[in-house]
Structure formats: structure tokens, C-alpha cells
Amino acid sequence: MERVNFQAIEKKWQKKFESSKLYNKKGEKFYCLEMFPYPSGKIHMGHVRNYTIGDVIARFKYMKGFNVLHPMGWDSFGLPAENAARLNNLNPKKWTEQNIDIMKKQLQMLGLSIDWDLEVSTCDVEYYKHQQEMFIDFYNSGLVSRKETYVNWDPIEKTVLANEQVINGRGWRSNAVVERKKLSQWFLNITKYSTELLDDLEKLPGWPQKVKLMQKNWIGESIGCELEFKIKDENKNIKIFTTRPDTIFGASFIAVSVDHEICKKFLNDKNFIKFKQKCSKIGTTEEALANAEKIGLNTNIFVEHPFIKNKTLPIYVANFVLMDYGNGAIFGCPAHDQRDFDFAKKYNLPIIRVVSDDKNSTKNGELKEAYTGNGKMINSDFLNGLDIVKAKNTIIEKIVSQKIGKKQTLFRLKDWGVSRQRYWGCPIPMIYLEDGSIVPVDKSELPIMLPEDVDLKSSGNPLNNHPSWKNTVHKKTGKPAIRETDTLDTFVDSSWYFIRFCSPKSKTPYNINDTNYWMPVDQYIGGIEHAILHLLYSRFFMKAMKQCDKNIISSEPFKNLFTQGMVCHETYKDLDGNWLYPDEVEKINEKKAINKLKKTDVKVGPSESMSKSKKNTIDPETMIKQYGADSVRWFILSDSPPEKDIQWSDTGVYAASKFLQKIWNLTNIIISKKKLNGDISKEKIFKNKIDLYCFKIDKTIENFHLNVAVAQFYEAYRFLNEAINNDIGNKILVEGFTKILKLMIPFTPHLANECLVKLECKDVNIWPKIETKVLENLKINFAVQVNGKTRDIIEMNKDMNESEVVKITKKSSKVSKYILDKKISKIIFIKNKIINYII
RNA sequence: GCCCUCGUGGUGAAAUUGGUAGACACAAAGGACUUAAAAUCCUUGCCCUUUUGGGAGUGCCAGUUCGAGUCUGGCCGAGGGCACCA
């Protein structure tokens, strides 16, 4: 038995794949894209999974005749380069380029069908100069603004983070507790598109529900109204926002944020200062927020109730009211809002019920918690008897007609702060003039290039520290000016790379014809961790670009989205509590493991997603060298559905390589077989069965059930292997096997191609014709039930009618022993599926 | 606290969407071949029965149905998202 030489075969085919072109000029376009990697040094198993799934889809579509765009690039700006550079005294650019070289070679070792002629790298000036131009376009279209705001300051990375980059009060990368700091920042006005970003989710049936829901919650639309209360004895009003104007007659207090305008007069008040301190002490940790007590401070200022004469409400300063949402003020209706309820209980404020549930329609019973359900209005003057929806409409009309408020929709979504005080990013093309104005640089002066002679060891912003870089001249006036020394958030870089891929050599950011031809991406594949950040920003960019250029057709970048699961591995800890790499550990059995060197016991921990910090990583290159790229690909596609997490298992890859060896053996056996003629009726059955496998595999790939496709290949192999010894002529055998091997090309491109060459296949890259008619002449395994219990399974021809089926099934001894001598009261017959005798 | 998703053998999982539960694979045990090992192949997998066979069974409890892993209601458990958003 000849051992398959994976290394030799793969090397040979990778030369041919080096810059794969999957173009069928006459075919329908198909843009297949996987999220591009950050060049951190080496690829990891997550990349292997992501890009293998993408490669299956790209090759599959190509073989089916589509004109496929399958590019790859590098998300190459970002902090790690800067840190690594600082540690090893290297230039970030060099460090990044070295990593790209290594990772590109590794990706090529996987046999991916990537058109490397399209490669882009975001840290390349040829890329970011276009981004600068787009930034200026956005600026001129009113999509960029500068605001002084409290920002999330990451004290470790010494930079600003977007809200989306703060997870449980900590930096998404550094895990440092985020601080609040006031800074002047550049913002992309993503909130201008809140409504579109929300509504257009409905235009994306090809996205996972889960991701759409996460984005919906993130945008957080709430529909309500703004309402003004007159402050008693003063000629001033206070504006609040509410989604429950219908409960206005249940209002018993007004609550404002500590940063509210009305608090200014208390800035020197001892009680207020004390209160404010108390509020700020409640930290940003998850725990603190969950248990945060509602506290307030009575201002002794009152407002007039707009609809109840002579009724006044007290104004409280409350810790649970946020300044940056709505107007930083609310009215409290304790009976119908849990927070207001808690607050009212604590400060002995009245709890007036204005919505009754149906059970105790008009009773004014004591409430144990706020009632937030539906019901009819009570205690509400002209609203009484209306349901909530009608009451809302009525009261809003009244508010509008009295000119004390208006309909209003608020969003949780905030504008996207893009300024970063870092070196290794795209310079923001703005300059500060002597007169204090801030203007974009003239487009003719682009690109604003990063300086290479930069000191990264001192603290603070490296571009600002540079002796001369920031000094420039305003082109129009010839006067000296200072460059913006902040760089753009790297999420900006990745918000349009998919458009650049359509025309990567274009002198302008994009070529309109190419963009309109290829966009949107037909299949986007990546991790669920980008459900909000990257995917929301990219959607915004597409819309913003369209606003700047009416010729752009697409308003959504990604037609179909697939989020693949993570690659997991068991974790190991030494007795001292130190993490161990899998290859430092020898497994004795399921639960027991020892340290290979020290022979001491090792604690086996749960399987978790591979990460360097837990050392539960497996190096893809090592695996490829040991088992071959096809085996690694085959394993990572088998067993688990692509959207779920997968457990890495050494025995699993080994099993994969054994199976591929069997495919190789089968190829050799079939070649050596001399038998020319076989039994015609057996051959007919054989052909049908092969066509059925093709049909099923084709369908499972289309539906992304790649693990099921793999299972079907195993079955198909078993069937073929048995067929060798049956009376099947060699021509038919080769024909059948060829079809199956072609279907395998997307999964194991090297081996499948090699075997097809050996079988002298001429049309390797053409997908076998999928015969839907095989389903028509299928034999049916008919289930025969008695009282709903399956008693026998009988093979029958398709489309038999009831009386025929009854005739056949009654003959079965397994069935007849249950129905003999019994009266059949009913027969349930489902064509081609089941017959059920009821006795 | 609110919202979402998911619970199927020792393990990863299939199941034509209401019609044969456990395909396919990993691990385990037993066996075949071999002087032996590796490789390869076969068998088994809960309960009762020597076998033929029969029974239970998809987190738990109920319901709809001739028939439920799939539908409905309630409970339990796991994972994820949001964080006082008025």
C-alpha cells in the first residue's frame, strides 16, 4: 500500500494555487470574503477555520460557474506593532511587514484559493492615503465633527476607546479599568444614520438573527416625547424625555442628573458636593452597577404639573439619571416604572396608580412592584378608560397643541469617536490654523505620511512628540499651521477594505464600475465577536460613501453573513498553577494527565477557546507539517457545524489523514482495475446512488452544513469501496469516483486534484451536474407502524398508492403479528413515508 | 434585572422541518489477520431475554396529534448580548 505523500502533493498544487483566479467572466458575480487578519506574527487555528470555510464556499461557487472574487489583505495598523516595536527596538512598519510575510506563507500552505494580486494592507500608504481622502469627503458632507466630551480613557494603552470598545468597564484589549477624561475628539457622525442602520437590518435576511438583534439593541431606539415643566415661581422650564407620557397623571417627582444645568447653583452647596461624591464612588464595575442603590437629593425646587392645576412636583437630583441621554431629566411615575418605584419608596413619595390591569380594574390596591403591563387608564382625567396606546396618542396631541413638548425618538447609539493618541495608525488629515480654526488639508497635499523616525519609548502621543512632523503650512493662506497628531481608530481602516478589494490598484479610493459590479459582498465570513463594532461601522461607511457619491448603488456592504464558531482546546495547569502547552502534557486517560518532563500530575481544565494566555493553543503550521494541509482542513470542517465551537483533537486530525489515505488507496485500486464491463442493472443502481450523494453534498454545502457534507463523503467512500468488489465496470466506477472527487476539491483541494489527475479527468474545475431526477426513482424505506409504533421497515418503489402499500405491508410477519385478528379502525397513509395501522 | 439562543449515547454530532431517533466521526471494550507490534477490517454499546424478540428513551412536567427531538404552556439548567437609556 503506497503511503500518500501529502507534503509533495501539496507543494506541487500550491504552486498552481499561488495566485488563484476564480473568474468565470460569463458567470454571475460572487464576492466571497473572510474577515482579514491582524498580522500578529503567526496564523492561529481560528484563522485556519475561518479561511477554510471561506475557501470551500469560494471554490464551490467557482466550480458551479460563478465569477468569484476571493481576496485577502491585512488589518495592519494597531497597537501591538507599536508595543512590539518598543520592546524589540524595531520599526513598526518592519515588524508588521515581517509578520505579513510569515502569515502569507502560512496561508498559502493551507492551499487557499486567494487572488493575491488583490492584496491590500491598511498600513500601506497606498491604502491609507485613500482613507484620508474619504475622511475629507466625509468632513465636507457633514459626517465628521469635533466635540469635547468625556471619553473612555484606557490608562494602559494611553488612548481613547469607543463605547463599543469598553467591555464591563474595561478596555477591550488591555482589560484595564477605563477612566473618564474630558478631551476634544474627532467623531464620525454615525448617529445621523441611526434610523437607516436600524431599519435596513430588515433588508438583510442573509444575516444571523442573533447579530441583527444585537445591533438592534445596540442602536436602541426608543420612541416617546419631550415635555417641558414650568419651574414654580421662576420663569424657567425644565425639559424631560419620556416613553410613557400616558402616565403623566401618575407623576410624583422630577429627577435630574448631577451634571444637569439646574444643579449649577448648588456647586458650592455642601450637601450637593457630598452627594456628587457619593454618586461618583459607585464604580463602573459590573457588580457595583448591578447593586447600585438609587439615591437622590431634594433640591427644594418644584415644578408645576402641566395638566393638574395647583399640583407641584419636587425636583430631585438622582444618581440613576444619565446626563448624556435625552435631556438628563425625567419625570418619575413610581406606580409604573420599577426604578421610580424604588426611589419613591425610599423617599416616601406618592405612588399613584394610573394604569389598571384587567384583574382589579379600578381598585387602587397597594403595589409591591411597578406595574408595566397593559391596561386601561385610571385616575387620569381625560385619559380615563383609554388603553395605553390610545392614551399615548391623546396625551401627545395635547402636549403638542399646548406647545409644551413634541414627539421625539432617541437612540442609545452614540457618535463614533475615532481619535487615537497613537503612532501606528492613519494620520487624520486636518490642520489647526493660527486663528484657531481647524480645516482639512488640501487634497493635493495627500498623503499625509507617517514619519519613520519616531520615538516610541517616551510616554504620550508619539506624533505630537516628534520634533518637526506636526509643523506645516496652510496651502491657501501660506500661514504656518499644526497638523492633527491623533491617528484614526483602526476600525476605520477595516470599514471599507472590502470596497478597496474591488479595485485595489485604482488611483482613486475606488473605481465606481468595479465597486458597483462586485458589491455587496455575497458571502462574508468571520467571528461573532465583530457582531457590533466592525459590522456596524462598515454598514455606516457604505451609507456614508453613498451619501458622498450618488453613483454608488449598494447601501449595505454584506448581503450574507456567516459567523463561525471558535476553536477550543482543553486547558492544563501544573501543580503550581502555571499554564502548560498541550505538547508539554501527556494524557493518560480522559481525566488524568502528567507533565511530560517532570512526570508530575497536571490538572486538566475545561475546554476553552484557544488563547495564548491560557497556552491552550495548537500551532497550525506544526499540524500542517505533521498531517498535511488537507488533513487539517478536513478535520476542521468535520464533526461540528461551522457556526458552533469546535474542539481541537489530535486523534481527530489523525483520523482525517487516515481517511484521505483511503481516498488515495481507492484511487490506486481503481486505476489498476482492468474489468471493463459490469452488470448493467447493478451499474444503473450504482450511478443513481452516486448521483444521490452528489445531490445531497451539493445541498449541504449550499446550506453551510459542511460537517454533514463531510459525513456524506465518508458514506460515499464506503459505498465506492464496496462497489469495487461488485459487478461494476471500470468506466462507470471511474465516472462515479470522479464526481465524488470533484465535490471534494473545495474541502481538500490538493489531494482531490492529484487523484483527479491520476484518473485522467479532463474537466476538473467543473462541478458535476446535479441530477434532481435521482430523487424520482429512489427506493423508499417505508416505515410501517401499528398504533404509532414502528414495527417494520420495508423497501418499496416510489409513489406506491395506499392499497398497494397495505397489500405489501400486511404480508410482513413483523407487522401481521400485531394486526392479526384485530379490527383495524383507521389507516393513516402518508405517501412515500409511512403507514400507520390503528387498532 | 431585561432580551436572545440552546439542552439528543462516554464525546463531537445527524435527523428530508410533525413521520425509521442516534447517520458520520472520536473514544472504549471484545474479536479477526500477524511470531509480535503497527496498519487494516469486523462486532458491541440503556433495561429484560440464552436467542428470536420485547421495553424504555432526545433536560423535567403536562398538552395538542394516528404519530413529537421537532408544535404549545410551565419548570430546571447552560451559554451569549445589554447595563440604571426614562
pLDDT value of position A119: 97
Does the pLDDT of residue A168 top 70, yes or no? no
Find residue A493's DSSP bridge partners: none
C-beta atoms surrounding A766 within 10 Å: 12
Mean pLDDT of chain A: 89
Q: Please give the grid coordinates belonging to residue A173.
A: 484589549
What is residue A81's three-state secondary structure? helix
pLDDT value of position A188: 95
Per CA to C1' distance, which residue is closest to B82? A217
Q: What's the CA–C1' distance between A703 and B47, in Å? A: 39
Q: What's the CA–C1' distance between A833 and B20, in Å? A: 9
Distance CA A6, CA A109 (A): 12
Q: What's the CA–C1' distance between A712 and B80, in Å? A: 31
HEC sequence for A347-411:
HCCCCCCCEECCCCCCCCCCCCCCCCCCCEECCCHHHCCCEHHHHHHHHHHHHHHCCCEEEEEEE
| A595 neighbors A574 (Cβ within 8 angstroms) | yes
For the beta sheet containing A144-154, the strands, ordered from the edge strand earlier in sequence to the opposite edge, are A159-161, A144-154, A179-188, A416-417
Q: Please give the grid coordinates belonging to residue A27.
A: 458567470
| Nucleotide closest to A590 measured between CA and C1' | B27
pLDDT value of position A834: 87
What ipTM score was computed for the predicted complex, to two decimals?
Answer: 0.94
Q: Please give the grid coordinates belonging to residue A745.
A: 476539491
pLDDT value of position A446: 87
% of residues, chain A, pLDDT over 70: 95
> Which of left, alpha, beta for A591 (phi over 0: left; psi -120 to 50: alpha)?
alpha
For the beta sheet containing A561-564, the strands, ordered from the edge strand earlier in sequence to the opposite edge, are A67-69, A29-34, A523-527, A561-564
pLDDT value of position A773: 75
Distance CA A451, CA A461 (A): 13
Which is more confident, A161 or A6? A6
Closest CA to A36 of A132, A98, A100: A100
| A715 neighbors A693 (Cβ within 8 angstroms) | yes
Q: What's the CA–C1' distance between A570 and B18, in Å? A: 39
Nucleotides of B under 7 A from a protein CB: 1, 3-5, 11-16, 19-21, 23-27, 39-41, 54-56, 66-68, 81-86
pLDDT tens digits, A205-244: 999 999 999 999 999 999 999 999 999 888 889 999 999 9
HEC sequence for A114-127:
CCHHHCEECCCHHH
| Nucleotide closest to A789 measured between CA and C1' | B67
Question: What's the angle, vertex CA A634, arms to CA A631 and CA A638, rounded to 5?
Answer: 140
Does the pLDDT of residue A111 top 90, yes or no? yes
Q: What is the mean pLDDT of residues A572-593?
A: 82
Find residue A568's DSSP bridge partners: A609, A647
Does the pLDDT of residue A360 top 90, yes or no? no
| A59 neighbors A157 (Cβ within 8 angstroms) | no
pLDDT tens digits, A683-723: 888 998 999 999 999 999 999 999 999 999 999 999 998 88
Burial class (CB within 10 angstroms; exposed 0-12, middle 13-18, buried 19+) of A762? exposed
| Nucleotide closest to A715 measured between CA and C1' | B24
Closest CA to A546 of A557, A534, A558: A557
Please report which residue ranges of A617-649 form alpha helices under DSSP H.
Answer: 620-627, 629-637
pLDDT tens digits, A277-334: 777 655 444 344 445 678 888 989 999 999 998 999 999 999 888 888 888 999 999 9
Sheet strands (E) in A245-375? 253-256, 296-304, 312-318, 329-332, 355-356
Distance CA A139, CA A507 (A): 21
pLDDT value of position A287: 41
What is residue A14's three-state secondary structure? helix
Q: What's the CA–C1' distance between A715 and B43, in Å? A: 19
Distance CA A53, CA A704 (A): 9
Distance CA A756, CA A139 (A): 56
Distance CA A580, CA A190 (A): 44
Distance CA A185, CA A31 (A): 36
Q: What is the mean pLDDT of residues A105-124?
A: 96
Q: DSSP letter string over A663-730?
A: HHHHHHHHHH-------HHHHHHHHHHHHHHHHHHHHHHHTT-HHHHHHHHHHHHHHHHHHTTSS--H
Q: How confident is the model at residue A583 (pLDDT cuts 50, 70, 90)?
A: confident
pLDDT value of position A743: 96
pLDDT tens digits, A616-652: 999 999 999 999 999 999 999 998 999 999 999 888 9
Q: What's the CA–C1' distance between A810 and B49, in Å? A: 27
Which is more confident, A328 or A811? A328
| A582 neighbors A589 (Cβ within 8 angstroms) | no
| Nucleotide closest to A221 measured between CA and C1' | B85
| Nucleotide closest to A372 measured between CA and C1' | B2
